[in-house]
Every structure is written in structure tokens, then in C-alpha cells.
């Protein structure tokens, strides 16, 4: 932590030194977010009027993310930060840094949300499940917050942002409708997943996820056996994996239960495409 602060402090100086070469409007119109799906919401609302800096790079495990000087520079060069709320990266790295970067307005998407408990342990050690963006209802509220905050910051564009938000809402409602139809027809509402990224999605649609990862760590043989038993007794054949996490254990479980391993990507930059793909998987591959 001390190291990061030192780097941050020296970056402040570097940035102040070159203020003349960086127009104020450029920083004003740059916003930072934690994950790629958030960039989708900001761009749908604001188009290319704002530049979006994503702090957790593609393919990185959001649970274990150290900041590079380049990332810190991009962070400092933004006027607003939209945080998911309880991502491990945000809790351990980001919030302490933002406390010292007074010029950046922090907007927390989890504020005011009814949150669900997560698993304790290495990945999410704060007992709050952070994955709110995978719920269409919550994604709508995230986009609405983006439109409100940017509308207040750039009043001349407020109506445009509102119109863009309305269009996005129509599309999210359509996804929600498909999700209701697809999930209500399922006999088996339980599915396995390596990392529990679908907590809020499952809660919205009366499904239940069972995580292979245990307390943010690789599962123990005892935990794996319990999972295999659950799957056998309930006839579960679907095992979701995410490419940011180790898939060996998921493949082992799938082998034991004669199930299929299916890759999903909750950090997909194309949020809508990912939701459609997830729903198509549930529709066609789950009983
Ligand atoms: Zn996660």
C-alpha cells in the first residue's frame, strides 16, 4: 500500500508539472470505471462524448489486480469514478487511493442497492457479493445513475443522455423479458459455476447457483465431493466457467457428473451480447 501511495504521489507531481499540456476539458470528459461492462453502460448513455478508462484490464482476474503507473495516470486524469461497489480491487486498492485524489468524484453503484451476502475468503473477503451488473434490473439502475451523474455534470447534454438511457432501458427490458420466459420453463433451476458471478441474476429469476470455488479459493476435496453429490442427486449437468479463473476443478466436476463445461464471460465488454449469450445457453443447454 505504501508503495502504491508513493507512486501515486509522484504521479501527482508529474501531472501537475504538465498541466499546461493537458486541456482541462479533456480531464473533465474522462471517466474511470472498474470493469468492461461498465464501459458499455457509460458509452450507451454518453456515446463518445466521454472517454472511458477501464481499470481492470481484459483478461485480468478482478480479485488479484495490482495497479501499474499507467493505470494510475489514467485514473488521475479522470473527473468521475463509477465503482461497482464491492469488487475486491475497489475495496483494497481503489478506495484508499481515491481518498487522496480529491479531484475525482466517486460514484458507488452499490449504494442504496439491497445487496446479497457473498462468500468470505481470498476473492471476496468482505461478505458482500459484488456482481450486481449481471442482473438486468440492477444494470438498469447502474445506467440510470450514469445518466443522472453525467447529466448533472454536462447539463447541455442532459436530454441526449436521457434519450440514450431510454433506448438502453428498452433493450434491457427486452433482455429481462427473455430471461423470465427462458428461466420459468426450466425444470432444473440449479446450476454450477466456478466463481459465483451470477448471484444476483439467479436471485432475480428464481434460480440457484452453486459455486465450485470455495471462500475465494480452490475447492478442497471435501467441498468438491459435496458438490458432485448435490449435482448427482439433483441431476445437474451444467457447469459454468469464466476464463479469468482456473478451470481444472470445474472440468473434473463435470467429468464426475457427466456434465458440460460452458464458458461465460461476466466481464465481456459487450454486456448485452453476453446477457443474450447466457440466456441462449440456459434456453438450449439446460433442462
Ligand atoms: Zn467476482
| Secondary structure, 3-state, 233-276 | HHCCCEEEEECCCCCHHHHHHHHHHCCEEEEECCCCCCHHHHHH
Q: What is the pTM of this model?
A: 0.89
> Which residues are within 8 A (CB) of 91 and not within 5 positions of it... i.e. 6 or more apart?
126
Q: Helices 36-46 and 136-153, interaxial angle, to 10°?
A: 50
| C-alpha 216 to ligand 1 mean position (Å) | 9
Angstrom distance (rounded) from CA 50 to CA 25: 10
How do residues 107-154 score in pLDDT, each as one tens digit? 999 999 999 987 654 455 558 999 999 999 999 999 999 999 999 999
Determine the CATH number of domain 2-176.
3.40.50.1980
| C-alpha 106 to ligand 1 mean position (Å) | 21
| C-alpha 197 to ligand 1 mean position (Å) | 5
| C-alpha 286 to ligand 1 mean position (Å) | 23
How do residues 200-228 score in pLDDT, each as one tens digit? 999 999 999 999 988 778 889 998 999 99
Continuous segment of H or E residues that includes residue 225: helix 221-234
Do 2-176 and 186-285 fold alike per CATH? yes
| C-alpha 213 to ligand 1 mean position (Å) | 11
CB atoms within 10 A of CB 124: 25
Ranges of each domain in the chain? 2-176, 186-285
- Report the CATH superfamily, name and number, of domain 186-285: Nitrogenase molybdenum iron protein domain (3.40.50.1980)
| C-alpha 199 to ligand 1 mean position (Å) | 10
| C-alpha 180 to ligand 1 mean position (Å) | 24
| C-alpha 238 to ligand 1 mean position (Å) | 19
Amino acid at each position: 500500500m505504501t508503495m502504491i501511495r508513493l507512486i501515486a504521489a509522484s504521479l501527482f507531481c508529474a501531472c501537475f508539472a504538465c498541466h499546461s499540456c493537458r486541456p482541462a476539458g479533456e480531464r473533465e470528459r474522462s471517466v474511470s470505471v472498474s470493469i468492461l461492462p461498465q464501459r458499455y453502460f457509460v458509452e450507451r448513455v454518453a456515446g463518445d462524448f466521454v472517454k472511458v478508462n477501464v481499470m481492470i484490464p481484459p483478461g485480468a482476474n478482478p480479485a488479484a489486480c495490482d495497479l501499474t503507473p499507467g493505470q494510475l495516470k489514467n485514473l488521475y486524469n479522470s473527473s468521475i469514478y463509477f465503482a461497482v461497489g464491492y469488487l475486491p480491487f475497489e475495496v483494497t486498492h481503489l478506495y484508499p487511493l481515491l481518498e487522496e485524489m480529491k479531484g475525482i468524484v466517486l460514484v458507488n453503484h452499490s449504494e442504496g442497492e439491497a445487496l446479497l451476502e457473498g462468500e468470505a475468503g481470498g476473492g471476496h473477503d468482505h461478505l458482500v457479493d459484488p456482481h450486481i451488473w449481471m442482473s438486468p434490473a440492477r444494470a438498469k439502475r447502474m445506467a440510470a445513475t450514469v445518466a443522472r451523474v453525467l447529466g448533472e455534470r454536462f447539463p447541455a447534454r442532459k436530454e441526449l443522455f436521457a434519450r440514450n438511457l431510454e433506448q438502453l432501458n428498452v433493450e434491457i427490458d427486452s433482455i429481462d423479458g427473455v430471461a423470465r420466459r427462458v428461466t420459468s420453463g426450466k425444470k432444473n433451476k440449479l446450476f454450477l459455476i466456478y466463481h459465483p458471478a451470477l448471484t444476483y441474476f439467479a436471485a432475480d429469476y428464481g434460480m440457484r447457483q452453486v459455486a465450485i470455488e470455495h471462500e475465494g479459493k480452490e475447492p478442497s476435496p471435501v467441498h468438491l465431493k459435496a458438490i458432485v453429490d448435490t449435482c448427482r442427486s439433483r441431476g445437474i449437468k451444467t457447469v459454468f466457467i469464466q476464463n479469468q479463473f482456473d478451470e481444472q476443478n470445474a472440468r473434473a466436476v463435470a467429468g464426475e457428473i457427466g456434465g458440460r463445461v460452458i464458458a461465460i464471460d461476466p466481464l465481456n465488454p459487450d454486456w448485452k451480447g453476453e446477457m443474450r449469450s447466457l440466456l441462449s445457453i440456459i434456453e438450449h443447454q439446460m433442462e
